[in-house]
Amino acid sequence: MTDLATRVAPPRLTGAAQALLGYAAVRALGLLALALWSAARDKSAYTLLTARWDSLWYTRVAELGYGYEVRLPNGDIHSNLAFFPLLPWLERLLHTATPLSYAGAGLVVGALASLAAAWGIFAVADHVYGARAGLCAVLLWAVLPVGIVQSMAYSESLFTALAAWSLYAVLTGRWLTSGTLALLAGLTRPVGLAVVAAIWVAGIASFAGRRSAAPVNGAHGSEHAPAHAPDTPGDGASAWRRAVGMLLAPLGAAGYVLWVGHHTGKGPLGYLDVQAGWRNGFDGGWAFARFVAAKFTSFPSALAGVGLIVGVGLVVWLYVVCVRQRQPLPLLVYAGVVTALALCASSYFGSKPRLLMPAFPLLLPLALALARLRTSRSALVLGALAVGSAVYGAFWLNGSGPP
């Protein structure tokens, strides 16, 4: 039987080109705002993008390998083993092949990965809802308040690129490609487990003969249906391709976690001890709930507490809308796991917006709504959001920044 991969057209290049141009324009605006703001404060925008916070840890891994750690006065140990290896591997490769420094290589990898992520988001949204919604989804991802991270030497863009294309591959029946990309996503961030979960659920559903992706049934009938309905993951794909793709998917994350356990001598779950040294873990959201509740001890901080509650409510509401619109099952599983891991982490509460950034399927209901507006209106909305995102990103990165 002919593999579905040979019968599914690639994402439409004209629409993808428009999406990438729009994405590049938004990111250029953000970088311009950052450069102007940093210059006014006598800071280096390049240093903010490449040599602070996580980007500095990745650069050290690329240059010196694993084994570096910082012992804090309270006894905590911050080990660079907490950082997954794919981004520093790519930084080292580019540094070796070019005159770029490790930091410069990280910036280039991040920039290229962000374009690949934007294209992958377009591919998924185009497949489910059509090219216009795909364009809007890419631009919404670009104008996120923390969108400046997409231009940093961070791993979010690289992970989102691998996740988006892995999801597109499973939606179109390319199981080996999907599993390979999931393997690489698992070498990029711990949340690579979300991609693995999406592939496994889709694979199990296809083996069970259930339809795991359906057209959207909107409030106004057929006009809400996708431009081309998602294919059922697994249709036309042989059982062995599905099985091999599912087996490949977890190898990246599992391989690194097991290596860390062996390297530290603490057994298969040694990576959890490394994370504990950063006071990071998964507690079902209890620590985050206490963090939000503590904001209501005084009036000024209470406003921040209200903002946090509204933000979490918006994320949950968007996921409910995704479910009600019957997004393909792999997208629902992926977005659900990314959201749960981000909101239920026990530390680094200021990082939660950044940790949610890879959950791009949450943007699809908003993209679909924008796609139905007149072009002038959707352009006005996205333009205003782009300016706001650029200003906020410059302010944020020159202030507390992404921890």
Average pLDDT over residues 25-40: 96
Phi, psi of 293 (to 5 degrees): -60, -35
Check residues 230 and 274 and name the one with the higher pLDDT: 274
> Looking at the DSSP assignment, which residues form a beta bridge with residue 218?
221
pLDDT at 38: 95
Q: Is the pLDDT of residue 225 over 50?
A: no
58 Cβ neighbours under 8 A, 6+ residues apart:
83, 87, 88, 91, 106, 153, 154, 155
pLDDT at 213: 42
Give residue-wise pLDDT tens across range 54-107: 999 999 999 999 999 999 888 889 999 999 999 999 999 999 999 999 999 999
Check residues 384 and 206 and name the one with the higher pLDDT: 384
Task: Give the Å distances, CA to CA, from 142 to 184, 346, 368, 379.
Answer: 23, 27, 16, 14
CA distance 66 to 169: 33
Give residue-wise pLDDT tens across range 346-394: 877 778 899 999 999 999 999 999 999 999 999 999 999 999 999 999 9
pLDDT band at 24 (very low <50, low <70, confident <90, very high): very high
CA quadruple 344, 82, 185, 164: dihedral positive or negative? positive
pLDDT band at 327 (very low <50, low <70, confident <90, very high): very high
